[in-house]
Structure 1
């Protein structure tokens, strides 16, 4: 049977975050990095109870001691393929899906297999800080082609990417949807990116961990669904971990777009697959089944309200802030360059407002003056955090 939060979920289309007192009982990084007087809105963990089907699957596993090694064959590839067809209209061949521990590990191992040491790998800052590290870990050299600010949003700088590919870059590490901006790249730009990669003999690895969190109106396109060229040059690495708050359980999927590109899986060490966590796999299967769709829809509805609340609160309490409502995820990318807090505003905000936000400069030089705020929590906590920041700036 589903867990104790099931009845609350069934009575509303909006999820309620757990009470702050209960959240402080958690032992994850979000709740153990800072003292209790700090509101933690930095790391990408959410404050909701697990989806009922996920909770039930984990409780069942514990009750029967299903805590051993992951099986060589599991239902996850087929379950994810059905999820992708249902949610994105993307038809995934389950035979081209493999699992590993997490998205970063999947990216590292694919890069190791696809480039040689010293090869240049394009990233699009401001971008998830571990992108710089995984490229280096795989022996590559980071080549920065920042997102273009259009005035209304951000987009891939295709001309800049083309120039770097022409100059010898061998791979593109894409973030789709993009972290931290919440940008959902258009099908047109993804198709053009794939054509560029094909022309120059490069590969594209697309981190799509935030894909289940794309708002319905955003028109999310998986990279491998962006056309024949994308299928020929690309890989997707994704997980249920961000949407369903399962990062500690360790399960991600690596997906190839063709039989030819899937051949790289046979070259990877067996340990790449064996690192998949048993609990992570069981939770991912439950998360991607149709029974969890209503919970995910409720989460998206909640995040839709929260992303707009952030805009309202900033306009009221931090009018110097610049913020664009993201198309995906639960991360607000906020420009505080005009607030007088220097290149890394998070430091002063942590010290003086007791609110922990992610450091903008960690995402690249383009993050100077910025902070990243996690709004995957209650409206009350978001309100308190932004009110504290406004009060600090006013004083």
Structure 2
């Protein structure tokens, strides 16, 4: 029987975030629900606590019933994405013939980097940023250069300019790995900010790769701008999938999109890369972009309500924690530095996402709430935690309540 405090229900049953109970979620075998013991509330990795969108579930059932589990083929995925991009973002210049299907966004990034940079070349990132940017770039034998975000958690043109200068000095073909919208801060970059990036990239001869995996998850009050729609971005790339918005991380498939002056580079993508995406993944992502819009709108309403709820919960239970209200994604970047918790970092540095330190370690040990540790997101992350708010209001409420009690207990022990 489900814990009544953490059960779904009530009048908001159309909100996908309220449709599963904690007991049902604990039956899942993915990393979110198996990494930690069952007494832990997991609000860390980017998995949502939602059932599959009905159009996606229907498409997968049909494929299974037909035994349609062979190799992927065709351009249906890119066509569905193009229609979605035109309708949602006004991206009417999207060209299916300037795309290719890749295993997932990060593997697509690596493969594009192999096309336009050389081993030892520099790749600029804007920390705090998604930890795999460090790990995948380093594994691909490229160097990471940081251009830290400003105090307002938005891109700093001066820092990017300096990083591009350094990157150009280190190698012949530097690149910039843009996170758009930004993970973990939830910032949705404005068109003028992206135009500034494009101008700097052109000035310094830097190729831009835009990770737009969170693009469908822009909340009220903000507007997503695809990087390839910005003047000056014609030789750039975007990597997009339905993975985050429709909770399809286990169904691997993504689309790499080239600007008009980058299409010839994308055409050099080795044919064997297209063997990596899952056929069921392509089917699921295609269905999401083609027919999942109504479900997505319900999800966005639920996430909007959750970011407001989180603000109220933090004000009540953790008033010294600063909440950087996200404009997009379902990730909340919480500044816990005022708690005065030891932030000594384990070995490993940025990108080693399994390591916990400081507030994240304390909240796991004392509150039994799993969060992502800020230090793995690079410069500017120490003393922060990332909280995944794509869960039910009941679970979110219980988690923050536990965290408040843990801080009270920690501070009492310190006195």
Shift in Å at residue 160 of structure 1? 1.6
8 A contact 1:9–1:15 mirrored in 2: no
2:129 partner SS: coil
Question: Which residue number corresponds to residue 364 of structure 2?
Answer: 350
Question: Which residue number corresponds to residue 362 of structure 1?
Answer: 376
8 A contact 2:148–2:379 mirrored in 1: no
Shift in Å at residue 172 of structure 1? 0.5
2:133 partner SS: helix
8 A contact 2:16–2:50 mirrored in 1: no
Shift in Å at residue 189 of structure 1? 0.9
Q: State whether structure 2 residue 383 is matched by structure 1 residue 377.
A: no
Q: Structure 1 runs of 4+ off > 3 angstroms?
A: 8-15
Do the aligned partners of residues 32 and 15 (structure 1) sit closer, same or farther apart at CA in structure 2, a change above 3 Å counting?
closer
1:341 partner SS: coil
Do the aligned partners of residues 158 and 121 (structure 1) sit closer, same or farther apart at CA in structure 2, a change above 3 Å counting?
same
Specify which of 207, 211, 221 is matched with residue 203 of structure 1: 207
8 A contact 2:175–2:206 mirrored in 1: yes
Q: For 2:179 and 2:159, locate their aligned partners in 1 and report how far apart those are by CA, in whole Å.
A: 16
Shift in Å at residue 14 of structure 1? 6.3
Question: Which residue number corresponds to residue 349 of structure 2?
Answer: none
8 A contact 1:90–1:222 mirrored in 2: yes
8 A contact 1:17–1:377 mirrored in 2: no
Question: Which residue number corresponds to residue 95 of structure 1?
Answer: 97
Q: For 1:13 and 1:283, locate their aligned partners in 2 and report how far apart those are by CA, in whole Å.
A: 21
Do the aligned partners of residues 327 and 78 (structure 1) sit closer, same or farther apart at CA in structure 2, a change above 3 Å counting?
same
Shift in Å at residue 138 of structure 1? 2.2
Provide the aligned C-alpha RMSD in A.
1.6
8 A contact 2:82–2:96 mirrored in 1: yes
8 A contact 2:13–2:19 mirrored in 1: no
8 A contact 1:58–1:283 mirrored in 2: yes
Q: For 2:78 and 2:373, locate their aligned partners in 1 and report how far apart those are by CA, in whole Å.
A: 36
Specify every segment of 5 or more residues in structure 1 that has no aligned partner in the other structure, as ranges. 1-7
Q: Return the structure number with greater helix share.
A: 1
Do the aligned partners of residues 307 and 10 (structure 1) sit closer, same or farther apart at CA in structure 2, a change above 3 Å counting?
closer
Map 1:265-344 onto structure 2 (within 5 A): 265-289=266-290, 291-343=291-343, 344=358
1:328-372 deviations in whole A, cap 9, x for unaligned?
011110011111222221111111110100111010131111111
Shift in Å at residue 271 of structure 1? 1.9
Question: Which residue number corresponds to residue 223 of structure 1?
Answer: 227
1:281 partner SS: helix
Question: Which residue number corresponds to residue 4 of structure 1?
Answer: none
2:364 partner SS: helix
Q: State whether structure 2 residue 67 is matched by structure 1 residue 65.
A: yes
The count of corresponding residues between Structure 1 and Structure 2 is 380
Shift in Å at residue 257 of structure 1? 1.0
Map 1:1-395 onto structure 2 (within 5 A): 12=14, 15-71=17-73, 73-91=74-92, 92-150=94-152, 154-169=153-168, 170-227=174-231, 229-231=232-234, 233-258=235-260, 260-289=261-290, 291-343=291-343, 344-395=358-409
2:233 partner SS: helix
Shift in Å at residue 265 of structure 1? 2.3
Q: TM-score, normalised by structure 1?
A: 0.93
Question: Which residue number corresponds to residue 3 of structure 1?
Answer: none
8 A contact 1:14–1:299 mirrored in 2: yes
Shift in Å at residue 216 of structure 1? 4.0
8 A contact 1:112–1:139 mirrored in 2: no
1:155 partner SS: coil
- Choose 158-167 or 88-97, whichever is displaced more: 158-167
Do the aligned partners of residues 318 and 213 (structure 1) sit closer, same or farther apart at CA in structure 2, a change above 3 Å counting?
same
